[in-house]
Structure 1
């Protein structure tokens, strides 16, 4: 396990900051531009994973494993989010035969 921490610490922290910022920005652009609900969910997961990577990098640089444990909890929460989100998308598709955001406005009362 120590060699993993040494590999993480071998890369400067600002490289992690730049990479995670770029990945997070790609996720934000995907949420703002796309109309497909599945693509939007993938973009949200991309943003969440970039934050997880940054949290793990900060935790490794600090030498504390509590941040890495928190990453596992966030990943479990993200898995539950995806399961519920995909169930909703499947039900919307069965009713409207589309997964675009425009079809969700038809589900109002």
Structure 2
């Protein structure tokens, strides 16, 4: 189930927390009955009154609390593509060698530590 702090992994507002997505965009998806992303549609349906209140300025956008201070990647595929890009660069910094799923934030990160 999506929440305000859920990061979208696709679409126009990819990598944006739901609470930061313009309410007009969400209301438009709902009006068009766009169910391409069923979880997003369910979030809109369950939070419709709050989204409408945000759209007219009656409700402030909630503060977003990030759990991890690391760079997050929405999927393993995206993390591996970034890993490939970094390994092809020439630099003197530690180079990440793998991606991993973070159970704290629910996203993927890169690390230079070998898998134990």
State the TM bucket, normalised to the shorter chain.
Answer: under 0.3
Normalising by structure 2, we get a TM-score of 0.24
Normalising by structure 1, we get a TM-score of 0.25
**RCO higher in 1 or 2 (8 Å CA, sep ≥ 6)?**
1
Please state which structure has a larger fraction of its residues in strand.
2
